[in-house]
């Protein structure tokens, strides 16, 4: 059993690196786009709010797999021919953006309305209100749920193996196909995913504890 | 309801025919009110009478549907009152820098220390340097008796202390008029005194104030004029002596005051 | 662009989608039911048990929550039969997997629900002389269920969406039906638009139904 794993190691390593790369890109991209859209959702003009709200609700209402298939098979029809990897990252990012928008909305929404009033009353214009009053308070409320969501990105990335992208899950499947040792390999793969996600969730819990001591 | 002496200073704050509704609820139904420079005007009245909404319209935290609010002659919310063209965000910010507001729930910025709460407006709006802003902040914290708490977070302060920081934050901006929205209503009774003392000392130095309050005793002792609001309009107005003289009171006012006298043993 | 939407082929094969949707719902309901039993039992054990038991339950929860569902599905379907002398259908295998998955999430829901039961209620139960078991059954669990109802609804809708992963082992649920139509008719846009609509409408209907239940029974809504 151990021999099988050793034989498969380089192959699995490549897969692991792909998984990590895809996860990181997805998380970073979705954070940037999601925060912008989230702020637009809270403070934007009504039509923009409707669009973002609609988009977010639809994406969060369907399974990730359906979204991935939709993007992977559907995109070439619009003339955009992406590599499987790019299509996968696009699909995952879209999925995460919807989650981040919700995180932002919840974080800003939980700030008492009086804060905005106080910021207005000392004469701060809108950008300064956001940067110096809202954002610092929103950050503390945003980080814990967002960090929890990062593990969703890693777990969701396992589905891109179905699109032919050579991630960890794909590598495991290939090796299982060659060595017929499914249990050992799946357990090993589970251990790897567990290591990544569990460390992330430990980190997020530590951060949560740090922030809650500054009581807000 | 014009000032009694026509040759007196023009009012710092002039409100005429103010109308405001929230959906189907008509909160303000044509309010006229003046506040002269250096005077304290107290607004009393039953809940739902529109007092807080009135205050929030003065620094345009709420828009208003009709009427005019002018500070030193300048219309507060609209470039053109008749055409209801709102001022730009930039203009509104500038107007609000000229009015200071102290809130019932304090609304201190929880991530900033007491001094930093005061410094935020000074550095970002008045564009003072950090050292100068800190010096000013400490000065005002000293004035409200909290110099030793200047580097504490709001969560480490009592309600009365937080409210005094709130007052310092508003006053440090050197506003033309101070708007006080039931600033002691959320305080434990034993903390009310320390806050009212600060307000009294500011009044005695000539700060122009519009005070919405439930503290009838304070209104009687500290204000130059009392305005009784009910059902969205000014129902009675005048110096404390006149308002509290029983033979001059309307039925409504009498009932209201009676309820408060019983509760507060005035 | 040159791609014209044509839904007729979708409607011709709509039975696949409809039966797929029904199967998805069945999978979800079954897994939630079994998961509830697992979650409830483990939550009670967790709250009243010793350190060793709590650690074991925590380990189970952490493993399930940190490993992708698709890997768990493969593990149970392809991996287990090599050591356990069982053979089961893909559907059965998926229900087992999703139930274990649901159980892990529901342990958390029920545990925090139990811990949120107001002390006063438990005291009242004690003061009328109920034994610990009776207090559990007649006071704490009913209160916990009402508190946990919103989280329970959200978990159920989540699980309904997770049934799409069953398609990877050829369980003929909704996503599998969509892929079938995709590969056999090449009407990609149409089928995925329809399936998106079906997931959205069903999910929304479930939420509304559960919200109505919440309004009748939940505490602190």
Please give the pLDDT value at position B178: 96
For residue C144, pLDDT beyond 80: yes
Are the C-beta atoms of A184 and A5 separated by less than 8 Å?
Answer: yes
pLDDT tier at C1, thresholds 50, 70, 90: very low
Contact at 8 Å (CB) between B217 and B264?
yes
Taking only residues 160 to 189 of chain C, the set having a beta carbon closer than 8 angstroms to any beta carbon of chain A reads 161-165, 167-168, 175, 178-179, 182, 188-189
Per-residue pLDDT, B82: 66
CA A45, A47, A52, A57: dihedral to nearest 10 degrees?
Answer: 130
Q: Do chains B and C touch (3 or more CB pairs under 8 A)?
A: no
Tokens representing C71 are 């890997």
Contact A124 B101 (CB under 8 A): no
How many CB contacts within 8 angstroms connect chain A with chain C?
112
- In chain A (216 residues long), the average pLDDT of successive 10-residue segments reads 74 92 95 96 94 95 95 86 91 96 95 95 94 93 88 93 92 86 88 93 82 53
What pLDDT, on the 0 to 100 scale, is given for residue A16? 93
Q: Is the pLDDT of residue C218 over 70?
A: no
Contact flag A122-B120 (C-beta cutoff 8 Å): yes
Is the dihedral angle over the CA atoms A181, A183, A184, A188 positive or is it negative? positive
Residues 6 or more apart whose Cβ sits within 8 Å of residue C41: none
Chunked into runs of 10 residues, chain B (266 residues) has average pLDDT values of: 55 92 91 93 86 93 91 84 77 92 95 95 94 95 94 94 96 95 91 92 93 89 91 89 78 78 56
Q: What is the pLDDT of residue B243?
A: 84
CA B163 vs. chain centroid, Å, equals: 13
Distance CA B212, CA B190 (A): 20
Q: In this predicted complex, what is the ipTM?
A: 0.89
Distance from CA of B48 to the nearest CA of A (A): 19
Q: Rounded distance, CA A163 to CA B38, Å?
A: 74
Contact check, Cβ <8 Å, B121/A120: no
CA distance linking residue C89 with residue C21, whole number of Å: 19
Contacts of C164 in chain A (CB under 8 A): 63-66
Q: Residue C141: what pLDDT?
A: 87
Average pLDDT, chain C: 89
Chains adjacent to B (≥3 CB pairs closer than 8 angstroms):
A
Residue B2 CB burial class (10 angstroms; 0-12, 13-18, ≥19): exposed
Helices (H) and strands (E) counted in chain A, each on its own, are: 9, 0
Q: What is the per-residue pLDDT for C32?
A: 95
Q: Provide, rounded to the nearest whole percent, the portion of chain C with pLDDT above 90.
A: 55
Per the listing, tokens 């309307």 go with B250
Burial (CB count within 10 angstroms: exposed 0-12, middle 13-18, buried 19+), residue A160 = buried
Q: Which pLDDT score is estimated for B85?
A: 80
pLDDT, residue C137, reads 86
Alpha carbon of B82 to those of A177, B19, B126: distances in Å? 78, 13, 31
Do the Cβ atoms of C68 and A69 come within 8 Å?
Answer: no
The residue of chain A nearest to residue B121, with distances taken between CA atoms, is A122
Sort out which chain C residues have CB atoms less than 8 A from A151's CB and list them. Answer: 65-66
Alpha carbon of B17 to those of B1, B31, B64, B68, B228: distances in Å? 11, 5, 11, 7, 16
* Mean per-residue pLDDT, C4-16: 83
Subunit contact C71:A79, Cβ cutoff 8 A:
no
For the entire predicted model, the pTM comes to: 0.85
Distances (CA, A) of C37 to A140, B117, C32, C106, C166: 36, 52, 9, 9, 22
- For C52-73, write each residue's pLDDT tens digit: 999 999 999 999 999 999 999 9
Q: What is the pLDDT of residues C97-131, one digit of tens each?
A: 999 999 999 999 999 988 888 888 888 888 988 88
């Amino acid at each position: 059993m151990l021999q099988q794993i050793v034989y498969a190691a380089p192959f699995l390593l490549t897969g692991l690196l792909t998984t990590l790369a895809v996860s990181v890109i997805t998380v970073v991209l979705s954070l940037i786009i999601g925060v912008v859209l989230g702020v637009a959702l809270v403070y934007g003009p009504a039509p923009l709010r409707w669009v973002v709200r609609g988009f977010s609700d639809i994406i969060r209402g369907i399974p990730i797999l359906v979204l991935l298939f939709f993007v992977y098979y559907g995109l070439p029809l619009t003339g955009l021919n992406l590599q499987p990897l790019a299509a996968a990252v696009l699909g995952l990012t879209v999925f995460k953006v919807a989650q981040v928008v919700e995180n932002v909305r919840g974080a800003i929404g939980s700030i008492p309305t009086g804060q905005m009033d106080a910021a207005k009353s000392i004469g701060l214009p809108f950008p300064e209100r956001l940067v110096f009053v809202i954002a610092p308070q929103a950050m503390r409320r945003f980080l814990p749920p967002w960090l929890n969501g990062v593990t969703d990105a890693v777990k969701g990335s396992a589905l891109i193996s179905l699109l032919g992208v050579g991630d960890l899950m794909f590598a495991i499947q290939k090796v299982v196909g060659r060595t017929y040792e499914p249990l050992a390999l799946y357990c090993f793969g589970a251990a790897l995913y567990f290591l990544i996600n569990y460390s992330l969730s430990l980190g997020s819990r530590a951060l949560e504890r740090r922030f809650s001591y500054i009581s807000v | 309801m014009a000032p009694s002496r026509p040759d007196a200073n023009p009012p710092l704050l002039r409100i005429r025919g103010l109308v405001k509704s929230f959906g189907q609820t008509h909160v303000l139904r044509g309010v006229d009110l003046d506040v002269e420079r250096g005077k304290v005007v107290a607004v009393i009245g039953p809940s739902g009478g529109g007092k807080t909404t009135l205050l929030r319209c003065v620094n345009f935290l709420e828009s208003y549907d009709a009427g005019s609010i002018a500070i030193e002659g300048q219309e507060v919310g609209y470039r053109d009152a008749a055409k209801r063209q709102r001022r730009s965000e930039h203009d509104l910010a500038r107007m609000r820098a000229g009015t200071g507001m102290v809130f019932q729930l304090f609304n201190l910025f929880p991530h900033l220390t007491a001094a930093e709460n005061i410094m935020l407006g000074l550095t970002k709006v008045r564009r003072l340097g950090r050292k100068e802003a800190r010096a000013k902040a400490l000065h005002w914290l000293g004035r409200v008796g909290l110099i030793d708490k200047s580097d504490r977070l709001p969560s480490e302060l009592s309600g009365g202390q937080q409210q005094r920081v709130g007052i310092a934050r508003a006053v440090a901006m050197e506003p033309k008029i101070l708007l006080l929205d039931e600033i002691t209503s959320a305080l434990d009774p034993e903390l009310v005194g320390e806050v009212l003392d600060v307000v009294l000392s500011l009044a005695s130095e000539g700060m122009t104030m519009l005070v919405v309050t439930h503290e009838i005793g304070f209104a009687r002792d500290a204000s130059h004029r009392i305005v009784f609001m009910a059902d969205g309009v000014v129902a009675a107005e005048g110096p404390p002596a006149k308002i509290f003289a029983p033979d001059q009171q309307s039925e409504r006012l009498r009932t209201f005051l009676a309820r408060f006298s019983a509760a507060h043993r005035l | 662009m040159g791609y014209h939407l044509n839904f007729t082929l979708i409607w011709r094969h709509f039975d696949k989608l409809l039966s797929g949707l029904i199967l998805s719902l069945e999978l979800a309901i079954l897994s939630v039911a079994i998961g509830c039993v697992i979650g409830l039992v483990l939550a009670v054990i967790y709250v009243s048990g010793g350190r060793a038991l709590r650690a074991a339950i925590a380990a189970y929860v952490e493993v399930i929550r940190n490993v992708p569902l698709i890997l768990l599905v493969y593990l149970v379907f392809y991996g287990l039969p090599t050591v356990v002398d069982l053979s089961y259908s893909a559907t059965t295998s998926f229900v087992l997997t999703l139930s274990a998955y649901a159980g892990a999430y529901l342990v958390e829901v029920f545990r925090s629900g139990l811990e949120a039961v107001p002390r006063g209620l438990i005291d009242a139960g004690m003061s009328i002389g109920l034994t610990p078991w009776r207090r559990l059954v007649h006071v704490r669990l009913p209160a916990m269920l009402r508190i946990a109802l919103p989280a329970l609804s959200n978990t159920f809708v989540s699980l309904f969406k997770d049934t799409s992963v069953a398609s990877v082992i050829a369980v003929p649920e909704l996503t599998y039906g969509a892929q079938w139509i995709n590969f056999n008719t090449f009407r990609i846009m149409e089928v995925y638009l329809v399936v998106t609509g079906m997931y959205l409408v069903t999910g929304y209907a479930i939420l509304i139904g559960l919200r109505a239940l919440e309004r009748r029974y939940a505490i602190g809504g």
